[in-house]
Amino acid sequence: MILIGDENIPFEEIQKVKDINDFLNTKSNTLVLFDYQQNMVEYCSKNSLSYAVVINDLKEAIYANALSAKYIICEKNLSKDIQEVADNYMFDSKILAIIEINDEFIEIAKNQIDGIIYRSILK
């Protein structure tokens, strides 16, 4: 299980970006993170950038996987449905459910979601 933002587990450096211009100010080998925007997922895919994207629905998840997202991030209530589709179609992207506190990740593990990310990382 992937645990991003947990104080007990080291995780890769993440930089939140808001638009394509922000990519110019990112360090190399940094995972970029952003809310789903079609032009940004296309840009990352074309430029072979490692990225995580926060999605709102299944359609965005499918596009993000097709455009090589490393992580597809969604709210807990959506994660089980997204994970089922990801498993069925063998997504390369990993599904991460957003949690607030560490007690929540047991529920996510029981639902067999690939991993979690703490909401504080998304800010």
Q: Please provide the DSSP assignment of 39-58 as one string.
A: HHHHHHHHTT--EEEE-SSH
Positive or negative: CA dihedral 7, 9, 15, 18: negative
Q: Residue with structure tokens 């933002």?
A: 5
Q: Which domains does the chain have, with CATH numbers?
A: 2-122 (3.20.20.70)
**pTM for the full predicted model:** 0.96
Strand partners, 74: 97
Structure tokens at 110: 């029981």
Q: What number is the average pLDDT over the span 22-46?
A: 94
Structure confidence by residue, pLDDT tens digits, 50-69: 999 999 999 999 999 999 99
pLDDT tens profile 86-112 = 999 999 999 999 999 999 999 999 999
Q: Give the DSSP H/E element, type plus range, for residue 110.
A: helix 105-110
